[in-house]
Amino acid sequence: MDQQKIDIRNIPVHVEVHQPVGVSGQYNPRDRIYVRAVKGLHQAIRRYMGFVFMGLFMLLPWLRYEGHQAILLDITEQKFNIFALTLWPQDFTILAWLFIIAAYALFFITAFYGRVWCGYLCPQSVWTFIFIWFEEKIQGTRHQRMKLDADPWSGSKFIKKAATHFCWLAFSLLTALIFVGYFTPVGPLFAEFFTLQASFWAVVSVLFFTLCTYGNAGWMREIMCTHICPYARFQSAMFDKDTFTVTYDEKRGENRGPRGRKDKDYKDKGLGDCIDCNLCVQVCPTGIDIRNGLQYECINCGACIDACDDTMTKMGYPTGLIRYTTEHSLNGKPTKVLRPKLLGYLLVLIVVCGAFVWTLYSRVPFEMNIIRDRGALYRETNEGLVENTYTLSISNKSQHAVQYDLSVASDASFNWIGPHQASLNGGETRSVTVSLALDPYATEQRSLDISFTVQQAGNPDVKLEQTTKFFVGR
């Protein structure tokens, strides 16, 4: 059989890699964003909401309730005090319901109005805007800050930069102290920290959160939103064509281009309402151009809306070139607010809220565990009775001293040996040992089902029952 030789030729393959080019001509993973100040309806709403929730964050740890800190999430003692409610590790389901409610509330809001949480209430955005406010007050406007960074180092530049970073660090330290104050008594924390008497872990925690706040809001800023926060990545799964997002009306705005205020014939020249002032880019905290369409970096803060509306008003054009709208609305179709996805999120949110309320309502403020005598299942007394010994472990999960009544229920008649009442302070756990004695000829069974009951004295509706076995031993 003839064999044919196949010629093999090496074909050189050249792969050329193109790297992005920054302003300096070299690869720059991040050019600094100089955010321009803007005023308007949406920024006023954002500021007022930020003031309210920032005030709550700062003031809540200082509130007192019946002689103790109203909100204290004490991890070392494994209990969370929230006004009159005390949560223990056994109440993890309540915290789980809270997290589930927060998640579905976020899904519902996102499906309806986009990433408004990110733009208005996210701590990263709120603290970033506060740090930018410090920059504006110390270093000046956007153009002044850009010029200051471009200028060579001088005494004036050093003072402005040092003052800015001092304010950032001071506010970060205050934030860290308040935050740690949710987990340890806030009053002693402040006093001990500044007198150098705080514990090692308290100091480490405060310094850690200080550096985190300083780094996130002062240096990383939009990197947290665009590269680190997972919410920016999966938000698109909750968007649809009826979701209200910050959107540029391309049909109305294009073709963009400059013109004078008195130029009323700009449409005859093929121009749209966008005068290409670039203010929408300058005020954006993530540095995007909303005119390029929906982008995952957009946090729906509405800054570009306020900047554009101000420009449209000065030009004498109708406002709303950039606005909260839907894709269907831009295409001339009606927006469906009540749609299956949104109703589904709402239904689940209502269900989990109901489950949370029911869990709180049905929660018994104490706990009981029955531990049998490990030495023997039963023993015979001198009187010929069969005796079983039990240890009732009772935990008072409330914040007040409570007295409990102890009893047992069964078809047989037992002799109760031990205390019938137990008094526990708030948060205390106590073991009460009781014995039950029974005439072995009173029943033909080798074991009996019995039910111990622990009831709050004076309140028959608050009680716990637990079933166990009584061994006769015949």
3-state secondary structure 253-304: HCCCCCCCCCCCCHHHHCCCCCCCCCHHHHCCCCCCCHHHCCCCCCCCCCHH
Which of 276, 304, 330 represents a domain boundary (last residue)?
330
Decide if 340 contacts 347 (C-beta within 8 A). no
Is residue 25 very low, low, confident or very high in pLDDT (cuts 50, 70, 90)?
A: very low
**203 lies in some domain:** no
Helix axis angle, 200-213 to 155-180, nearest 10°: 130
Q: Kindly state the average pLDDT of the residues 320-341.
A: 93
Tokens standing for 426?
A: 């708030």
Could you say which of 306, 330, 354 is where a domain stops?
330
What was the pLDDT predicted at 20?
41
Q: Report residue 449: phi and psi, to 5°.
A: -85, 125
76 lies in some domain: no
pLDDT score, position 14: 47
Q: On the CB side of 144, how many CA atoms lie within 13 Å of its CA?
A: 11
Domain assignment present for residue 416? The answer is: yes
Asked, for residue 14, whether it belongs to a domain, the answer is no
Q: Are residues 301 and 244 in the same domain?
A: yes
Given a cut of 70, whether residue 200 has pLDDT beyond it is yes
CA distance 209 to 189: 15
Q: What is the pLDDT of residues 332-342, one digit of tens each?
A: 999 999 999 99
Query: What DSSP state is assigned to residue 443?
Result: -
Paired sense of beta strands 379-380 and 447-456, if any: unpaired
Q: Six-digit token pair at 292?
A: 């390029």
State the total domains in the chain: 2
Whether 455 and 408 map to the same domain: the answer is yes
Q: Considering 302, 330, 358, which residue would you say is the last residue of a domain?
A: 330
Task: Grade residue 9 by pLDDT with cuts at 50, 70 and 90.
Answer: low
Name the average pLDDT for the chain: 90
228 falls within a domain: no
Tell me the CA end-to-end span of the chain in Å, nearest whole number: 95
Helix, strand, or coil here: 407?
strand
**Span of 164-173, 292-301, 384-393 with lowest mean pLDDT:** 292-301
Q: Given pLDDT bands bounded at 50, 70 and 90, which one contains residue 421?
A: very high
Q: Do 325 and 414 lie in a common domain?
A: no
Residue 300: domain span: 240-330
CATH code, domain with 464: 2.60.40.10
Percentages helix, strand, coil for the chain (3-state, rounded to 5) are: 45, 20, 40
**Is 388 inside a domain boundary?**
yes
Average confidence (pLDDT) over 448-464: 92
319 and 383: one domain? no
The model carries a pTM of 0.83
Whether 252 maps to a domain, the answer reads: yes
**Are 326 and 389 members of one domain?**
no
286 plus 377 within the same structural domain: no
Residue 405 lies in a domain: yes
Residue 161 half-sphere exposure toward CB, CA atoms < 13 A = 12
- Which residue's structure tokens are 């002689």? 67
Asked if pLDDT for residue 170 goes beyond 50, the answer is: yes
Q: What is the pLDDT of residue 17?
A: 40
Mark whether 298 and 382 lie in a shared domain: no
In the structure encoding, which two tokens stand for residue 3, read together? 């064999």
